[in-house]
Structure 1
Amino acid sequence: MPVKFFFRLLLILVALSLPLMGRAQRAKPPKIQVMVVGSDHLSQLYNKQPESDVFSPKKQAELAQVRAQLARFRPDIILVEAEPKEQPQIDSLYALYQKGTLRLEDLPSGRGERYQIGFALARQLGLPSPKGVNYFTSTSQSLLNSGTNIEAYTRDLRLLQTASRPLKALVQKDSLSLYDYLALANQPELIGLLHRMQFNTPAQVMNGSFAADGTNTADVGKVDTEYIGAHFITLFYNRNLKIYSNILRAQRQTQARRVMMLFGLAHVGVLEELLAVNPDYELVHAAKYLKTNKKKLLVLDK
């Protein structure tokens, strides 16, 4: 092969390979896997009857089933509904829990999902202390109680209550397992209804006011009574945007690639909505792991 021809061929091959090298250099790392697990606040299940107590042997076995399913996601960090300023206390309690010198039964809030799922699953998987990413404000669903089209909001609220309250009563009586209860809570249909009721339907309500005895600690400025429903949505959205910021910060600090967070059900839809459009994240729905054959108990069309 003539030398001149050889060098010409070599130059052509190098030129052809440059775009491929550039694409390889620009290749992004795999997306961060994130899963939002919704939970009824487990401490609120307890009504002084032994069947309602998450510390009962039966419910402990059911919680073990929940944790076994969630473990299949293989999280490398667990985020919980606690504020970042609580982190020193969380770290201290988790260190004692890891050593076996802390019993959850001895904690005033030991029945809560932060401990029953968050702490227990983190220890089971050998993970570091769960991280608090909450931003706390309190706004009651009954705060919005008047205005044009208020019936649209109250209809969705009744629909949610009709679907959820019987399930809670069943699990409190041990007629429904705690595993199936949490699996039903994470079904897309229920998450969707709750999200619509809180972040969409209220926008139909106009020219109204908030209940004088309603709870609200969120301050997003002067209440615009013409757009009372939209202002109501803003109270919840403002809080969840700050939670979202805390989630992103926690991931950056820990460099976790598989993030599981545990939050009250009302947060799931909006957090999933925010995470789904973040190009760095890939959303995994909790229902993928929390499967149930009790869906007939989920009544959403009355």
Structure 2
Amino acid sequence: MKRISVICGFLMTMCLSAQKIEVLNFATFHMGKTPDAAKVSFDPKSEKSQKEVFEIAKLLAEFKPTIICVELLPGENEKIKNDYQNFLKDKNFKTAYEGEVSLLAYQIAKIANVKKIYGIDEQETGQYNYRLGYQLKNQVDSVTYKSFIPTFIGKLKNQENLSVKEKLIDYNKESTLQDLITANADILTHVSTANNFEGADEAAKYYRRNLRMYSNLNQIPLTDKDKVLIISGATHAAFFSEFLKRSPKYQAVNVFDYLK
């Protein structure tokens, strides 16, 4: 009996040590100025828009995150910390960060009493040419890229009359996330001249940026008691979704358990 107890204790210890950190990976459109090629119509100063986003914040706060990650550079973490503290102290404080950081991340953090907000963005990859398929001459395949992109953009335009919540629900669907990886990276592998890799090399830049962003997440000090909420542009969230599926450290949480 003693030996069985020891084995059971060992197995229990192993299970506890293997407990994964829960991560809620939330895809959003940029709610402020953005250099992204695809932009969503949204007025961050509109009272109606602010109310809609606050309703989303209340839903996501139910996850009870201990840490929130946003699409800002890690070098700004101290600035984010001070900015958030001033936001908490003064309801009229004008935050340094517009868009989803102040409208969504700060509001969730306030509701859920989150102490730490980290930037995980990366911008050193170099200029990324989304439009190479329209610019490169003498392509081996001049059809696939040019037929896919207008169809994809058309799907985004169909969202214009949706509410903020409806747009975010659509952004977080698996089918949308997969389309975003294709549109922002994989479709470029069809763009090349004979025996060259112009499009693939552009796509690799975007893969590299997202891998580095994921590496920034992995450099944040976490324990198995932490619950992490990532708020990022939908294409980044699409890549994170793929990385999280294979992670030995994290357990992805279903967004639609909260985005109801």
Give TM class, smaller chain. 0.7 to 0.9
Which amino acid is 2:60 matched to?
L
Do the aligned residues in 2 keep the contact of 1:77 with 1:127 (CA within 8 Å)?
yes
Distance 2:256 2:147 in 1: 26
Which amino acid is 2:253 matched to?
V
Tell me what 2:67 maps to: 77
| SS across alignment from 1:260 | strand
Q: Comparing both structures, which one devotes a greater share of its residues to helix?
A: 1
Distance 1:131 1:90 in 2: 8
Tell me what 2:7 maps to: 19
Question: Aligned pair 1:227/2:219, yes or no?
Answer: no
Question: Aligned pair 1:92/2:82, yes or no?
Answer: yes
Question: Aligned pair 1:192/2:178, yes or no?
Answer: yes
Residues paired across the two proteins, number? 248
Do the aligned residues in 2 keep the contact of 1:90 with 1:129 (CA within 8 Å)?
no
Question: Aligned pair 1:271/2:240, yes or no?
Answer: yes
Superposed displacement of residue 203, structure 1: 2.2
Superposed displacement of residue 253, structure 1: 4.9
Distance 1:139 1:287 in 2: 32
Structure-2 change in CA distance of 1:120 and 1:89 (3 Å)? same
Which amino acid is 1:189 matched to?
S
Superposed displacement of residue 153, structure 1: 2.2
Q: Which of 120, 125, 128 matches 2:115?
A: 128
Q: What 5-or-longer segments of structure 1 have no aligned partner? A: 1-12, 46-50, 171-175, 209-224, 292-302
Tell me what 2:165 maps to: 179
Do the aligned residues in 2 keep the contact of 1:84 with 1:134 (CA within 8 Å)?
yes
Structure-2 change in CA distance of 1:102 and 1:139 (3 Å)? farther
Structure-2 change in CA distance of 1:140 and 1:256 (3 Å)? farther
CA RMSD in angstroms comes to 2.4
Do the aligned residues in 2 keep the contact of 1:187 with 1:287 (CA within 8 Å)?
no
- TM-score normalised by length of structure 2: 0.85
Bigger shift: residues 274-283 or 181-190: 181-190
Aligned ranges for residues 201-280 of structure 1 at < 5 Å? 201-207=187-193, 226-250=196-220, 252-253=221-222, 257-280=226-249
Question: Aligned pair 1:41/2:33, yes or no?
Answer: no
Superposed displacement of residue 268, structure 1: 1.5
Q: What 5-or-longer segments of structure 2 have no aligned partner? A: 35-40
Structure-2 change in CA distance of 1:288 and 1:255 (3 Å)? closer
Identity of matched residues, %: 23
Tell me what 2:251 maps to: 282
- TM-score normalised by length of structure 1: 0.74
